[in-house]
């Protein structure tokens, strides 16, 4: 039986009641809304399509298939876990915008046309930025503005691409496209911005670490995964994505190794993991797309778990730099354990969730003969173990005793982390239920001796390399610093260029202004001289002179007219 409510509206409209409620009533509704949304989602039948006429266009506001349902389930699960994690927060703005943010993501993945996608695409940007601004610091305000500008730009590109696509094809349907015209390229790049393509990625590592401890968990769950869905829907099999994804898996490793802010490390790690998804989508239907969306599902859980653990550390200590932390396993043993589960999952240890999805993408690359891509993904797998699997728990909890003694994370945080950790282990041990949700039939066994041995060897030698680099002193130390990559262009170069240009043109501006003032002064003085009572135009003329002047002007006009 088809559901009667659009899946997005349960979260979007229900969230509006949160600011008027207090205490346990607000907490109860915060948890209840994702549950109600999920139950409503279960009432939607496969193949359901809702059409809605708007301004002469036929919009497809709801399209239900295996791909949209998978992401719909995922986003409701993420909203539920994050709602539990944020129960201790008293700020109603964070609760309101957090659930509206989740609802916007749900609306985007069920959109069947480009206009509906655009509406929810922009809602994603407008609702998510409050998770950054809610921290209420100067840095978060600046990061939020930059974040919003980037995502509004993405939305404008999507809108222009949709308009051009309609003009060229006469259709607004959001289906598989080819990079054959300006419209498809604009839509591709609009999605690429939200997906953190290379050179378009800096908004993520700039904005996410400046969010509140709970806001970062919200941010990690929805924006980039909505973009992954859009790529899977619109650009499956696009060969350019294979190389883009492979590059995304590699370049963040080098930044993450030198980064001190552990939430920025996780930001780079997120780009690394999205790279596997992008490459899988580029590899095309079947194993490639299945691996990509399965890894997106798992990434929301284990990356959310890692952000939860770091959010708990920030909440209890007020610090997040690796150089300021260490020894927290004594004060926060449960958080430490949950962080290790997340680290094991993202590193694709056997029996953890990352292993059963990441290996699908690598197997797809091998099956299609992409040896270079496979080697790049293999290198990236070792790299993520370095910076997320080892660095995050090591420097936060074990590296040295910072002397910080604090309480364990609040109970609601521990419950959310415990549920996420349980899902990481459950999916890693029993991937069948997840595989049954994937858009294509699955003929893959992750637990073969070859897969397990190859992965264990990779992890062993990666750990050995970390130990060698650390003991030899080659491993980059944790320094109190801010590392910029592509955002150096608009955070340093553009402002410096503007200041240089202003300094260069200031003398010219002063000369122009001075000359302008002199010209205006001269004109005023001349007007006053000729129009005062003694001036030629101000004094009273004799009648004869007036007649003579009129005759002269008339004669000049007649000569000009006839000759």
Q: Domain segments of the chain: what residues? A: 1-233, 236-482, 487-528
Q: Which residues pair with 53 in a beta bridge?
A: 58
**Residue 218: how many CA atoms within 13 Å on its side-chain side?**
31
478: three-class secondary structure by DSSP? coil
Cβ atoms of 2 and 43 within 8 Å: the answer is yes
**Residue 206: how many CA atoms within 13 Å on its side-chain side?**
24
For the chain, which ranges sit under pLDDT 50?
1
Q: Which residues pair with 63 in a beta bridge?
A: 49
Q: Where are the alpha helices (DSSP H) in 430-542?
A: 432-437, 449-472, 488, 494-531
**Residue 256: how many CA atoms within 13 Å on its side-chain side?**
29
Rounded Cα distance, 348 and 355, in Å: 4
What is the end-to-end Cα distance of the chain in Å, rounded? Answer: 91
Given this model, what pLDDT does residue 477 score? 65
Of 248, 233, 242, which Cα lies nearest the Cα of 195?
Answer: 248
Give the angle subtended at the CA of 223 by the CAs of 217 and 225, to the nearest 5°: 95
Model confidence, pTM: 0.86
Given this model, what pLDDT does residue 225 score? 96
Given this model, what pLDDT does residue 540 score? 67
510: three-class secondary structure by DSSP? helix
Given this model, what pLDDT does residue 35 score? 96
Rounded Cα distance, 142 and 165, in Å: 35
Q: At what angle do helices 66-85 and 92-109 cross, to 10 degrees?
A: 170
Given this model, what pLDDT does residue 1 score? 41
Give the angle subtended at the CA of 260 by the CAs of 416 and 475, to the nearest 5°: 115
């Amino acid at each position: 039986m088809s559901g009667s409510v659009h899946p997005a509206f349960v979260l979007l409209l229900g969230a509006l009641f949160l600011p008027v409620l207090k205490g346990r009533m607000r907490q109860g509704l915060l948890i209840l809304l994702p549950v109600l949304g999920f139950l409503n989602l279960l009432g939607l039948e496969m193949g359901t399509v809702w059409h809605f006429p708007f301004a002469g266009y036929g919009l497809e506001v709801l399209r239900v298939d295996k791909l949209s349902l998978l992401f719909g389930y995922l986003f409701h699960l993420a909203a539920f876990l994050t709602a539990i994690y944020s129960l201790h927060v008293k700020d109603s703005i964070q609760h309101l915008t957090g659930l509206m943010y989740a609802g916007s993501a749900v609306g985007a993945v069920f959109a069947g046309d480009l206009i509906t996608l655009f509406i929810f695409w922009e809602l994603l940007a407008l609702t998510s930025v409050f998770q950054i601004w809610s921290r209420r610091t100067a840095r978060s305000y600046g990061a939020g503005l930059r974040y919003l500008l980037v995502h509004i730009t993405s939305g404008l590109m999507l809108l222009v691409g949709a308009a051009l696509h309609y003009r060229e094809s006469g259709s607004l349907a959001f289906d598989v496209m080819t990079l054959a015209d300006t419209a498809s390229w604009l839509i591709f790049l609009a999605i690429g911005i939200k997906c953190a393509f290379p050179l378009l990625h800096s908004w993520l590592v700039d904005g996410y670490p400046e969010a509140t401890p709970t806001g970062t968990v919200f941010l990690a769950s929805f924006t980039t995964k909505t973009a992954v869905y859009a790529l899977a829907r619109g650009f499956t099999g696009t060969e350019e994505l294979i190389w883009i994804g492979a590059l995304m898996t590699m370049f963040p490793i080098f930044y993450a190794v030198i980064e001190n802010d552990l939430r920025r490390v996780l930001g780079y790690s997120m780009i690394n993991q999205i790279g596997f998804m992008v490459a899988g989508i580029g590899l095309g239907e079947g194993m490639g797309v299945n691996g990509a969306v399965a890894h997106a599902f798992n990434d929301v859980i284990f990356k959310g778990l890692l952000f939860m653990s770091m959010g708990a550390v920030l909440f209890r200590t007020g610090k997040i730099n690796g150089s300021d932390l260490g020894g927290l396993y004594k004060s926060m043993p449960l958080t430490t354990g949950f962080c290790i589960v997340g680290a094991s999952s993202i590193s694709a240890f056997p029996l953890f969730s990352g292993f059963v999805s990441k290996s699908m993408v690598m197997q797809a690359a091998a099956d299609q003969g992409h040896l270079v891509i496979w080697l790049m993904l293999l290198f990236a797998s070792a790299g993520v173990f370095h910076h997320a699997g080892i660095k995050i728990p090591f420097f936060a909890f074990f590296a040295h005793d910072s002397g910080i003694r604090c309480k364990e994370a609040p109970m609601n945080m521990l419950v959310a982390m415990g549920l996420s950790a349980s899902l990481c282990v459950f999916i890693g041990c029993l991937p069948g239920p997840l595989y049954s949700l994937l858009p294509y039939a699955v003929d893959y066994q992750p637990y073969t001796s070859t897969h397990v041995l190859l992965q264990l060897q990779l992890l062993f030698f990666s750990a050995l390399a970390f130990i060698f680099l650390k003991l030899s002193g080659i491993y980059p130390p944790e320094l109190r610093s801010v590392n910029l990559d592509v955002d150096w262009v608009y955070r340093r170069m553009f402002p410096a260029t503007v200041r240089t240009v202003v300094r260069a043109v200031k003398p010219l501006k002063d000369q122009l202004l001075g000359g302008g003032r002199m010209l205006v002064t001269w004109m005023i003085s001349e007007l006053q001289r000729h129009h005062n009572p003694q001036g030629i135009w101000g004094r009273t003329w004799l009648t004869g002179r007036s007649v003579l002047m009129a005759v002269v002007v008339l004669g000049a006009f007649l000569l000009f007219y006839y000759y």
